[in-house]
Structure 1
Amino acid sequence: MTMIGLVDCNSFYVSCERVFQPRLRGLPVGVMSNNDGCVIALSTELKALGIKMGTPAFELQHLVRQGRIHLLSSNYELYGDMSQRVQSVLEEFAPAVEPYSIDEMFVRFDGFTHEQLLEHARQLHHKVRQFTGIPVCVGVAPTRTLAKLANRAAKKISAYQGVCVLQHDSRETQVLLKKIELGDVWGVGRRLVERLTVMGIKSAWDLAQANPKEIRRRFSVTLERTALELRGVPCIEMNDFDEARQRIMTSRSFGKLTDNLDEIREAIRQHGQRGAEKLRRQNGLAKAVLVFLKTNPFRQDLHQYSPSLVLELPRPTADSREILHAAGHALQRIYRKGYLYQKGGVMLLDLVDASRQQLSLLDTPQSDADRQRSAKLMNTMDELNKRMGRGTVSLGRPTPGAAWHLRCANLTQRCSTRWDELPLVQAR
């Protein structure tokens, strides 16, 4: 029987920082969002102080100055690399690994007895920590939804010691489902909880015992699948979460307000290149490009202006050069002097599968040759950036210290991806 495991990294961003800064272990640590705005990741010690997710960072500065807590800027390059390292370890223990998010991954196990699988999961739990330094919890069950609940139990119930393996028809599973509230079931939001409660469905067990056809009639096929999965009937395939996106947005708030067109152009260029990389990764082509700018709506003392413009591309493309050319034209048309801009971004629209693109009647052999050269160049750029680090090869170089760069006053070193930021050991 096939079993599905969910491996969830504990306090992932904080754990990544602690791998290379052991002095932070046991201390209350938080990681802040872009531009050091608010706390988006908290250690157990920080939660114990009553600090909540999303707390504005400026409200905690007095605790930082007193040395009672430690706040760090987001180091996404480090976190992404550590996520890949965790995945590499998992691939040695399972025939299939499916990343669900940067800190969660589904894995598939085949041909194990319950006792063998429990031991295998415990070994995986130990090896990830040993080889990467990242603590994880492992939940295993016949379906993805049950695996989510098993992972939650592994994290919340100390008796499991970070590993929980559930059989769909076991007494252990029944007891657990009866204790779990609807709001803690994967995919069941607050509004659904309210409607289901009216029907007398108040726990995961109640939903599992409900009539699936009635659930589908009253709600949706998605909730019907959730109910069936709680019964141990697999309804979600490994690739259900790997569908190509219909649009790709890349944007970010600037580090500080700016009206400098050259600096804004650099930001749009960076966002356009990043969007094109994502587009190529899903083997897609874009038919149009949207560029937008925004002033700060909370600064009523400043003039407000939030324009956007869509430009159709001459042909569907994933070539960064063509996308940036269009984005540059759009920016030139919407930019106005006299405004301080807070944010800018690029959205790629009308995406199509590159293998199914419809060619024009005006296409020539030269057009086909141009497409092949474009694809070869972009593939080469992507491969170099994958091997040597993002931004190694780019179209244009960003100006150091430009206003659009993020505020990262407490950024740690990218120890695992940058040669010039490797930790140093000093001999005494």
Structure 2
Amino acid sequence: MYALIDGNCFYASCQRIFRPDLAHKAIVVLSNNDGCVVTRTREAKALGIKMAVPFFQIAHLERAGLLTVFSSNYELYADVSARMMASIASLVPQVEVYSIDECFADLAGMPDELTTLGHQIRARVAQWVGIPTCVGIAPTKTLAKFCNHLAKRHDRLGGVLNWQDLNPERQAKALASEPVGEVWGIGRQTADKLGRMGILTALDLARADPATIRARFGVVVERTQRELQGIACLKLEDAAPAKQQLVRSRSFGGLIHDQAELAAAIAHHVAEAAADLRAQGSVAAMLGVELHTHRFHEQTPQHHALEWTALPVPCNDTLALTREAQRLLERLYRPGFGYKKAGVLLSGIETGPARQLDLLAEAVSPTREALLATLDTINTRYGRGTLRLAAEGLGQQWHMRRDRVSPCYTTCFADLPRVG
């Protein structure tokens, strides 16, 4: 048996932990550079606010006092997420973190009263962290995800739905109540193709001919179908697989013309990507840098460039990667263009320490490894960016716009909440 635990309106709920005055108030959280709505509370939905709507279209609601708006605060969300996952892990044998606001839990060997356990999980996360959650419980991961969706949609379920609490007739009714596109793993294009075959609901997919499904869509959709039938095909992963490519990029709050500003942005992205490499115990053999002007400003000169270089030694060394990235930037940068986005790409990723493939290349230094380990330790304890390369400070205009960002209540001493 599996459970899928999901934080409700997670980004907005993180804000409400420290702003109890916002309970039952309409809240939205915006994307990078305060562009579009990425999270809406139920009260915001009642105002007619759609997902991904540009902020300027709803700014009048904020001015009228009907809506509270926050910029994305990823530092806060990551820390609250870690606390939420730790709280869940204290009640179950094993968890698989699926995203920042949801995880699967293995319920094998747990007492028979799994519905009661689901309510205990909700209560503990609410008490220890302050995040409201919903729990779906089922014999497969796909059905657990489906049950979580229903628990979130129907208030009368009290936030928990155990598939085994439903008799076969009610299970069929539940599957028939949702379009096939709501099934985990069925994307829009696949749903459209299934619809043209007359497979419109989750129940239709569960009852479709397996041979036809496999012939038309392959083993992945057939596996999803079997999971809907209660046949477990997906196991719990106790650790996320190592990433085979890392991309770190971000749009700027405005257009950047100065190369030093771009160099600072590239250095920042390299530092984040290299830290992620070290965290998963990997090294990269290829490094790429990309630059983009504003593609929607067609009246301005356009320049979109990407260039790769093979590293002499596969590594995860922030200093070495930054040096190579700045060389690529030198070749890509063109004066007179206003750049809207820059990024770093790492490929050829493999698990293990750096290896010296070139006899003329500099050997990996134990002193450098110790330096990087110290860098990671300090930044993990006090927050990313506490220690950074001087190159990241060459400019400040490249930072994304976050005009409505909340304090980092749990990761910055200066932002600690004050009581009394």
After TM superposition, the score normalised by the length of structure 2 is 0.94
Q: For residues 93 and 4 of structure 1, what CA distance do their matches in structure 2 show?
A: 13
Aligned to 2:371: 377
Q: For residues 24 and 55 of structure 1, what CA distance do their matches in structure 2 show?
A: 22
**Residues 211 and 358 of structure 1, relative CA distance in 2, 3 Å threshold:** farther
After TM superposition, give the deviation of residue 48 of structure 1 in Å: 0.7
Q: Does 1:164 align with 2:161?
A: yes
Letter in 2 for 1:39: V
After TM superposition, give the deviation of residue 390 of structure 1 in Å: 1.2
Aligned to 2:150: 153
Letter in 2 for 1:217: A
Q: Contact 1:100–1:241 at 8 Å: present in 2 too? A: no
213-222 vs 162-171, greater mean Cα deviation: 162-171
Aligned to 1:273: 271
Q: Deviations over 1:36-83 (max 9, x none)?
A: 111111111011111101111111222211111111111110001000
SS in 1 for 2:148: helix
Q: For residues 246 and 197 of structure 2, what CA distance do their matches in structure 1 show?
A: 39
Q: Contact 1:14–1:42 at 8 Å: present in 2 too? A: yes
**Residues 298 and 190 of structure 1, relative CA distance in 2, 3 Å threshold:** closer
Aligned to 1:57: 55
Q: For residues 118 and 270 of structure 2, what CA distance do their matches in structure 1 show?
A: 42
Where in structure 1 are there 5+ consecutive unaligned residues? none
Instruction: State how 1:103-114 maps to structure 2 within 5 Å.
Output: 103-114=101-112
213-222 vs 40-49, greater mean Cα deviation: 213-222
Letter in 2 for 1:403: Q
Find the partner of 2:324 among 326, 329, 346: 326
Aligned to 1:307: 305
Q: Deviations over 1:139-163 (max 9, x none)?
A: 0101100001110111111221001
Q: Contact 1:7–1:136 at 8 Å: present in 2 too? A: yes
Q: Contact 1:414–1:421 at 8 Å: present in 2 too? A: yes
After TM superposition, give the deviation of residue 358 of structure 1 in Å: 6.6
Q: For residues 367 and 167 of structure 2, what CA distance do their matches in structure 1 show?
A: 58
Q: Contact 1:142–1:168 at 8 Å: present in 2 too? A: no
Instruction: State how 1:236-385 maps to structure 2 within 5 Å.
Output: 236-239=234-237, 242-354=240-352, 360=357, 362=359, 367=363, 370-385=364-379
SS in 2 for 1:235: coil
304-313 vs 32-41, greater mean Cα deviation: 304-313
Letter in 1 for 2:369: A
Letter in 1 for 2:121: L
Q: Contact 2:6–2:148 at 8 Å: present in 1 too? A: yes
Q: CA RMSD in A?
A: 2.1
Find the partner of 2:129 among 126, 132, 137: 132
SS in 1 for 2:87: helix
After TM superposition, the score normalised by the length of structure 1 is 0.92
After TM superposition, give the deviation of residue 23 of structure 1 in Å: 1.5
Identity of aligned residues (%): 39
**Residues 398 and 329 of structure 1, relative CA distance in 2, 3 Å threshold:** closer
Q: Number of paired residues? A: 419
Find the partner of 2:6 among 5, 8, 14: 8
SS in 2 for 1:46: helix
Letter in 2 for 1:72: F
84-93 vs 57-66, greater mean Cα deviation: 57-66
**Residues 259 and 336 of structure 1, relative CA distance in 2, 3 Å threshold:** same
Q: For residues 201 and 248 of structure 1, what CA distance do their matches in structure 2 show?
A: 37
Where in structure 2 are there 5+ consecutive unaligned residues? none
Q: For residues 316 and 144 of structure 2, what CA distance do their matches in structure 1 show?
A: 37
